[in-house]
A and B are shown apart, each in its own frame.
Chain A
Amino acid sequence: MSDSQKNDLYTRAGINDLAEFYRTKFVSDEVLDARYFKPLDRFDMRFARTMWVYDNVRAGSSVLDLGCGAGMLALLKRKHVVLTGVDVSPECVLAAKRNGYDLALTANLSRLPFDDGSFDYVVSLDVLGHVEFGDKDAVLAEVKRVLRPGGVTMHGIECTDRSSRKDYPEMSPEELRRFIEVDGHVGLEEEQEHATRFLKVFQHVAFEPRYTLCLSSEEFLKQADGYGLKFEADFLEYLRGLSFKERRAFDMAMGYVFSRVSDLGIPLPKAGLYVFLKASDALLGPFYNEHRDRSGLSAGRETADLLPCLDRNSQVVFDDGWYEPNLLPPVARWMGERGRVKFQVAEVSEIALDLTTHLPDLRARPVTLEMVLNGVRLSHFSLFSHSWLNLRVAVPNSLAAEGEFELEIRADRTWQARPTNDATRDDRELSIAVCNIEIRGQKSGIGGQKNPLTSDL
């Protein structure tokens, strides 16, 4: 199949509005903002590709995220990177901005709106597999143009294995439609083919097949159901039966193994699924952990001390009773039956927060909530309405200056938002969503510091 024949794959798959297609596929309410990142999430399989980039990017450099989507590289802000994103979908651009990108623009990837040599790094994750074959070289040329001399480009690219999977020309129209409809993959090539393309543009190219061993539970099921990859049936059945928390535990274990494989530099065999690729005109450094500095991931140090709101403070620990932050809007965390927040503060006189719930039949069956601080009940009340409630709870003087605090919120019932919708697999047990948790006190300041807003720093 020639490139021109391959170029109309979107059209043949019935996808005429590319921006709309990617909006529906990749724009979500997921919060990727670095300020909401939990240190433990570095082992989450969801962030495995992000962590590879994170460990290979120099702190304080400028990075272009090609096909930024909702902003999967937002975590790079923890390394004080100047982060720019481009995407074909305006909604994705908005989501990337929302997640903390310094600049995000709508643009065709083969005509980037940047001056020559603008970036130290040009990065893409899960993008080049979506670029049609005829555009791939143009995109790589643009990457080279906007990259500074000696700059490095890094890519996570979806691959195919023609020995086990049909190539596009071999697919019937229906097969092609179904295949492309899953993710919009119109430019899948084998690992070596990708490397060959890059070698046409860059002097040095290195690549490593990844995702040979470790996939998230969701990815296992997608590969099996969407792409027809063969996995043991009982294993797939087991994965389908996992609850939200079990899936998260599975993904964390997979992410941990993924991370260790990278750390130890263990080469993986070709799997025809995914490849990490680095290219540059300069000599390439180590493939993994070239600029590893994870200090920004753990305690927020400087910036964390400044935040008057617990939600975005990395010194504050939200336990497993809380789910990842969601854009409702605003950005809020859903809670299960109970959630704990641990924080250190010199003095607390009042805790203020906003909360809401989407529980059904709330008027008939109100949800009862209990707020406990260091084992002492602060408040006990019921929610009868779905609207946001601004709650202010006074802290008794006996607790006010204990230094270390654990705020626990308990709900008497939960609700599965869409338990019957197999497509979403959102089987989280939700009770309330909480945001804007503010600690007020005469000497309040997270981490034992003074309140930054009143600080004379």
Chain B
Amino acid sequence: MINDVESILNEIRERIRADHDPGGVPVTPVQSETAKTSLAHANAENGNGESLIRMSAHLTTTSRAWDRLPPMYSNRKGGTARLELWIKARLKSMSHWFTWEQVNFNSAVHHALAETLHALSAYGQEIAGIRAELRAELPELRAELRAELRAELRELRAELRAELRELRAELSELRELGAELGAELRKESESWREELDLRDRELIALRASIEVLTTEIRKSDADSQARSAAMETRATESAAAIREEIDAARMAMTSQLAGLAGELRESDQQLREEQRVCFKQLSLEASEASVAADRGRRVIESRLDNLEKSLSNGEK
């Protein structure tokens, strides 16, 4: 009784879960406790257990209905209802040959799926066992690894500290050497600066004397320079003037020649044009003269004809 209640509750729980799962189907409890335990374990271990549980629920349905036909019923009452149910019972027994193959097929599918579920459950159990073994071995392995790593770390630290000490020692040596060199350089630069100051003073004195000398030289050469500059300027000016005159003359000659050539060309063109127009006028006048002569000749001929006619008339 208690088992029944428990199985009903499990079924309700699984249906609710299936309702929340869109791709799910109603699950019915597995037939055996072993399978249920293994499936529950598998469910606890990973997600694949869920599908196995749903498969098991389906199989509960097929185990119940693989050889069953729907119940016979009637909405009528009395004799008609009994007649109807009687006919249906006859038809049921008559159609047994028709549903036989389907029942066989259902049976085969149900048993194949049940076998598959057992196989999968067995695999699931094996995997759970291996995982439990591994979980048991894992703390030991972790402790070993941690110990090894700590030992290596200690050794590395010791080595680094030793190298650091060596480097510090070298650095202090170099600092000492730099300080010694700086002191030496400072001393040398001071001595050089003193020498440079001395040279500067000497140079200033020399420059002053050179300036005095230069002034004297300038004074002495001023007249000659002025004379030569004047001569040079005069010569440059006269050369430029001569060059300008030559250029101007050349330009003038060139432009005159160009102008003359242009004028000649233009006058030639104009003469040609005038000649053309004159010839045109002459030809027009010649045409007029020829036409006038032709007309005059015709008039004279007609007058002569008239005269001859009048003479002949007079003779008659």
Residues of A within 8 A of B (CB): 302-303, 306-309, 311-312, 328-332, 354, 356, 386-388, 390, 435-436, 438, 452-453, 455, 457
Contacts and interface: CB of A to CB of B under 8 A. Distances in A.
Contacts of A438: 284
B284 A331 contact: no
A52 to B, nearest CB: 28
B289 to A, nearest CB: 10
B298 A328 contact: no
A435 B279 CA distance: 12
A457 B293 CA distance: 12
B276 A453 contact: no
A29 B273 CA distance: 19
Contact of B288 (A306, A328, A387): A306
B281 A330 contact: yes
Nearest to A354: B277
A214 to B, nearest CB: 35
Contact of A328 (B266, B274, B276, B295): B274
A453 B294 CA distance: 11
A306 B291 contact: yes
29 contacts: A302-B295, A303-B292, A306-B292, A306-B295, A307-B288, A308-B284, A308-B287, A309-B281, A311-B281, A312-B288, A328-B274, A329-B274, A330-B277, A330-B278, A330-B281, A331-B281, A332-B277, A354-B280, A356-B273, A386-B266, A387-B269, A387-B270, A387-B273, A390-B280, A436-B277, A436-B280, A453-B291, A455-B291, A457-B298
Interface of B: 266, 269-270, 273-274, 276-278, 280-281, 284-285, 287-288, 291-292, 294-295, 298
Given A387-B273, A457-B295, A329 B278 contact: yes
Given A302-B295, A330-B281, A308 B288 contact: yes
A457 B294 contact: yes
A302 B293 CA distance: 12
Nearest to B282: A330
Nearest to B278: A330
B288 A388 contact: no
Contacts of A309: 281, 284, 288
A141 to B, nearest CB: 37
B284 A436 contact: yes
Residue from the set B270, B274, B288, B295 with the largest chain A CB neighbour count within 10 Å: B288
B291 A452 contact: yes
A391 to B, nearest CB: 12
A330 B292 contact: no
A354 B292 CA distance: 24
Contacts of B287: 308, 453
B283 to A, nearest CB: 9
B30 to A, nearest CB: 117
Contacts of A356: 273, 277
A438 B284 CA distance: 9
Given A306-B292, A457-B294, A435 B273 contact: no
Chain A to chain B: the 5 pairs with minimum beta-carbon distance, closest first: A388-B273, A330-B281, A387-B273, A330-B278, A309-B284
A303 B273 CA distance: 29
A171 to B, nearest CB: 45
Given A387-B273, A436-B281, A436-B284, 20 more contacts: A308-B284, A311-B281, A312-B285, A328-B274, A329-B278, A330-B278, A330-B281, A331-B281, A354-B277, A387-B269, A388-B270, A388-B274, A388-B276, A388-B277, A390-B276, A435-B277, A436-B280, A452-B288, A455-B291, A457-B294
Contacts of A330: 274, 277-278, 280-281
A302 B292 CA distance: 9
Contacts of B281: 309, 311, 330-331, 435-436
A388 B272 CA distance: 9
Residue from the set B276, B280, B287, B298 with the largest chain A CB neighbour count within 10 Å: B280
Nearest to B288: A307
A309 B292 CA distance: 14
A303 B294 CA distance: 12
A387 B266 CA distance: 8
A91 to B, nearest CB: 18
A195 to B, nearest CB: 41
Contacts of A453: 287, 291
Contacts of B269: 387
A311 B280 CA distance: 13
Contacts of B266: 386-387
Contacts of A435: 277, 281
Contacts of B280: 330, 354, 390, 436
A230 B284 CA distance: 50
Contacts of B270: 386-388
Contacts of B298: 457
A171 B281 CA distance: 50
Residue from the set B284, B285, B292 with the largest chain A CB neighbour count within 10 Å: B284
Contacts of B292: 303, 306
A34 to B, nearest CB: 13
Contacts of A312: 285, 288
B105 to A, nearest CB: 108
A309 B283 CA distance: 11
Contacts of A354: 277, 280
Contacts of A328: 274
A21 to B, nearest CB: 28
Contacts of B295: 302, 306, 457
Contacts of A388: 270, 273-274, 276-277
Residue from the set B274, B291, B292, B295 with the largest chain A CB neighbour count within 10 Å: B291
Contacts of A303: 292
B241 to A, nearest CB: 34
Contacts of A331: 281
